[in-house]
Structure 1
Amino acid sequence: MNDTNKLKIFNDPIYGFITIPNALIYDLIQHPYFQRLRRISQMGLSSLVYPGANHTRFHHALGCLHIMQKAIQVLRFKNTEISTDEENALYIAILLHDIGHGPFSHAMEHSIVEDVHHEEISLLFMHKLNVEFNGQLTLAIQIFKEEYHRKFMLQLVSSQLDMDRMDYLKRDSFYSGVEEGKINSDRLIQMMNVVDDVLVIEEKGIFSVEKFLMARRLMYWQVYLHKTSLVAELTLTNTLKRAKELFQKGISVNCSDNLQFFIQNKINLIDFTDIILDKFAQLDDTDIIGALKIWQNHSDFTLSSLSKMIINRDLLKIKMSEEKYTSAQVQDLTEQFSKHENFALLEPKYFIFKGKIRNQAYSKIAEPIRILKKDGSIEDVALISDQLNLRALSKQVTKYFICFPKVLIKS
């Protein structure tokens, strides 16, 4: 008989003590698929800008579980009926919402796998775990896939004011040291209610919602879309693409067995069999770091140079603009670069390129954040807020960038 005590407590620097509510949640946390998240950084390469940002997706998932417990407690207190099965489903859905993230997150989605997003891989993991746990994840999967009839449950897991966003803003702000990202998640949760199975925020919580949206906007510009973090992620993406390109040319690229598999094969969503999913589950940040350390000495000068850039934090120059950069500007930089030594050994497309980033703190198209007014009516927060900047946050802001080697910086 297994006498393991499964009602464990985690000591979290954000919330204090986090409790595991039952044995099923404990067993999911103990599963190797979930334990892998200890080795996946929450903020990718942001630690190159904010040295404290070394927390993991394991931290984040537990934080989401904790505030989901708080939300369910508050909603039940306000007479929203949530059964034990629904409660467990919400815990499972929020706990596993990020389980499909690969090493350094988004860089993997555009290089190692063929535009397969982490949400899709998360769902594959959930289906696999559902088989192992004899169907106990079925309701959680329905909620995750927007197939459950109680709309507010999906909103708690995935919406413009969900447990995921509440935790990552508060957690990432703490670890990065960026004060502008601080939110009052306790206040937001206390102001939650459900009307006709739809999640609402009581009117007296509107200022906390406004602060939440402003914090999200500032965190994106100051942290998630910081130009150094951006160029580091793009460089990593290019490094992995170069490794795949070399393999296709018949050139050996050494790395861990599981990373080697994804470099050697073109993997689309339809290709994710259980065997491939298990191979993906063996990948974490250490595979990438280990590969970069090997590749910095590779005979291919392009792969070697890209790897050294990340290992030594000696990155490309990146310039941001409100205006689009043109192909002619890229060509001009390429021609300038051709005059420098070692140019013949490099592939310019990996070192000189342009792109764009977008930031929209609040979308009028997506499911709105609804405010329950004192007279019982319900309104979109963007329509009733007296903050002009909140309406501005509904507009998508696009910025353009161009990257190139530092040797091209004109004095």
Structure 2
Amino acid sequence: MTPERLKDALVARAGALGFDAVRIARVADVPDLAERLAAWLDAGYAGTMDWMGREAARRAHPGRLWREARSAIVLAVAYGPDEDPLAAIARREHAAISVYAQGRDYHDVIKGKLKELAGFLATRGACDVKVFVDTAPLMEKPLAQAAGLGWQGKHTVVLSRDLGNWLFLGAILTDADLPPDAPESDHCGSCRRCLDICPTNAFPEPYVLDARRCVSYLTIEHKGHIDPDLRAGIGNRVFGCDDCLAICPWNKFAKAGREAKLVARRDLAARPLAELAALDDAAFRALFAGTPIKRTGRDRFVRNVLIAIGNSGAPDLAPAAERLLDDASPLVRAMAVWALARLVSADRFAALAAERASRETDPEVAREWEMS
């Protein structure tokens, strides 16, 4: 089979498997991002994501990850929401969960499709293949731009003129020499809506994200106590943040997700904060089984819920926070203190502090009592 016919067969098979876009880049033509990545890491923008630095050399270029790779196949699955995610932010007594996390874990779903497609390519092309879904040192977003699938917008997320920015990405590297597509250029123009809407000012400049201030990083990746100065900006976002994606005008071309396993579960949309605060470990695991939320663990998730309760402005949620003052997790106890300080009267909080603060053994929680 000629390279051209192999590519045609590959694209057809990808469509049949549910991929909404497939583009190819020649690995030798992909820009080396070593300097750009090093500058981002040196600025500290990775926060506590130490794994970004550990594989920096290989991450900078796919050819360093696999020397025999000649072609990079980048694929996208659209997961556009049925409703405006920004509407959930106004429901302050309910939880806002990022659209991508309301269905099955995309890593599992996309990886299965990629493996099937890679097997098809290996058989038809008599070539070697490697599959990647956001779990290896491969920078899929710049690779997507090099392949012509889209471009990295000012919010650093991949944008497609045909599909908007609600996209799950996957990649296949192969030693087959496939006809490449033309790289995509930037089409953001003077627009800066994604930068201006960020609730925690996480973009020090266009195209640069400071993860340490990003709500998605804080509520998902960050394992410790969240900076008090950033808590108010989190609002009721208990897992991730969609603001910069939802505001993008290119989403007028976005497609609703058609993969059934990735469709948002209705029972995860706008759950009452009081209900989520009451989850123990077993209930948390049962509710979020199969979703990306499960990997954060109950303690971090309830930490986020308590921040949302503190931001709710709803005194009737104070009992939900007070019940967690004796929680086994210092993360949870600390945020229960912070939430109560924002919801109850000064006299009531002083009474609680007099009763409990002196018994607190964790220094971070004790500090919350003192600071609040």
Pair in the same fold by TM > 0.5: no
TM-score after normalising by structure 2? 0.29
Relative contact order, higher structure (CA 8 A, sep 6+): 2
TM-score if structure 1 supplies the norm length?
Answer: 0.27
